[in-house]
Amino acid sequence: MAEIIQKDGTWVFDGDALRLTPGRDKNVSLFRKTLGELVLPLGALAGVSFEQGKKAGRLRLRLRDGADPLLHATGGRLTEPNDPYQLIVESDRYGVAEYFVDEVRNGLLLDEVPADPVDAYLLPGPSVPLSVSAGDATAGFDGERVRLEWNWKTEDAKAAAGARSLALADIAAVEWHPAAGLENGHLRFTVRNAPTKAPPKYDPNAVELWGFKKDPLMALVAAAVQARLPHPARATADVPQARAELPAPPAASAEDDHDALLRRLRELGELHRTGVLTDEEFTMAKQAVLKRM
């Protein structure tokens, strides 16, 4: 057995599985603490590495494509503080980290675990029921239905129809995007036979996210739903032939970028006016946009 204990968390390998437990240190993200302990079957692992730094190193696990519904639902967009498959290692434990890597790699070789994609989830996803409040809604999932309840920050046009209830059988896909730069994030459900191009701000099947602390928790809802949808490998196999590649969208012009910056300023002003952003947060965000202009 190999074990490494750090402030960032504890990783244990017993030859068959890895047990990843987040630490209790104040620097451990809210997302990882809420996600809790993960038990990762060795067969779900594609590789492991350790990167040394001057003050601290980092252990990284690479999973086989399609093994984890969380990674699929987030599309690899979880930032480093929220990534459960990374562990910060203090410099005086580099030897332990290297031993841990050797043990896991030996386990992969002995079990002849391939690095190929898998056609079924090997991790169960977050447990249900669960409920998360962030952005313009509270999203809940009990294993059978998703419920979206709007709050006072929701756009009137979206909130007018009241709370939204989606049966799992009616959901074709789910995705989570964090807020990045000028773009707000979202948790969006694609409903069968109800396509929409509306932005998350107006889409009744989406939660708009603005980059605050609790936004990553919406990824837990996305992962829990994804774990109960057909595996993407099977969905692809049902398609008789691959679709032709779509042409890449044209690059945004300088005029389009300028318009986007102006829209972002208006959004920030509205969030500040309604009390979502504090004076300090509004000033910092506005300065960042003005620099881009």
Q: Taking a C-beta distance cutoff of 8 angstroms, is the pair 247, 189 a contact?
A: no
Which residues share a beta bridge with 62? 47
Instruction: Output the pLDDT for position 243.
Output: 44
DSSP summary character for residue 216: G
Region 33-39 average pLDDT? 96
pTM as predicted: 0.80
pLDDT score of 274: 66
Other CB atoms within a 10 A radius of the CB of residue 208 amount to 23
Within a 10 A sphere around the Cβ of 290, how many other Cβ atoms?
10
Average pLDDT over residues 31-48: 96
pLDDT at 242 over 70: no
% of residues, the chain, pLDDT over 70: 83
Q: Looking at residues 236-240, what average pLDDT do you find?
A: 52
Among 74-78, 109-113, 241-245, the minimum mean pLDDT is found in: 241-245
CB atoms within 10 A of CB 54: 6
176-229: per-residue pLDDT in tens? 999 988 889 999 999 998 878 889 999 999 999 999 999 999 999 999 999 999
Type of residue at 10: T
Q: How does pLDDT run across 266-289, given as a tens digit for each residue?
A: 777 767 676 656 776 677 677 666
The three-class DSSP label of residue 58 is strand
For residue 244, what pLDDT is reported? 43
Q: What is the mean pLDDT of residues 141-149?
A: 97
| Residue 86 clears pLDDT 50, i.e. is over it | yes
